[in-house]
Amino acid sequence: MIGVSVFLISPFIGPVLGPIVGGYVIETIGWRWSIWILMIFAGCVAPIVFFAPESYAPILLYRKAKRLSKQGENVAPPHFRPFRTVLGIALRRPPRKL
């Protein structure tokens, strides 16, 4: 239950604490440090993002099918749409939702 609570409140933490912490940093050590602090935070979070395990189901299924086909099993990898098709869908869908 605590995990769900933290997950649900996390989108609100940044907009609430950002101006408070940013104002304190700017008033005490200067406006340039607000940017340095963001860069330090991004540098600490970037390895977590880059080295996190894959969790997107189609990619996992593709890798599993590829691994099984190398072992000799007859498994067809899932079909991926070409980038041009995905881009067309992404650009056409929002105006239709209006």
Residues 62 and 90 in one domain: yes
Local confidence band at 26 (pLDDT 50, 70, 90 cut-offs): very high
Q: How far is CA 82 from CA 3, 54, 61, 90, in A?
A: 37, 21, 17, 13
Residues 36 and 62 in one domain: no
Q: Are residues 63 and 43 in the same domain?
A: no
- Whether residues 61 and 93 share a domain: the answer is yes
Domain extent at residue 83: 57-97
Do 61 and 42 fall within a single domain? no
DSSP H helices in 1-98:
2-29, 31-50, 57-70, 83-97
**pLDDT tens, position by position, 31-80:** 999 899 989 999 999 999 899 998 888 888 888 888 888 887 777 766 77
* Amino acid 81: pLDDT: 78
Same domain (yes/no): 62, 41: no
Confidence class of residue 28 from pLDDT cuts 50, 70 and 90? Answer: very high
pTM above 0.85, yes or no: no
Q: Are 9 and 43 contained in the same domain?
A: yes
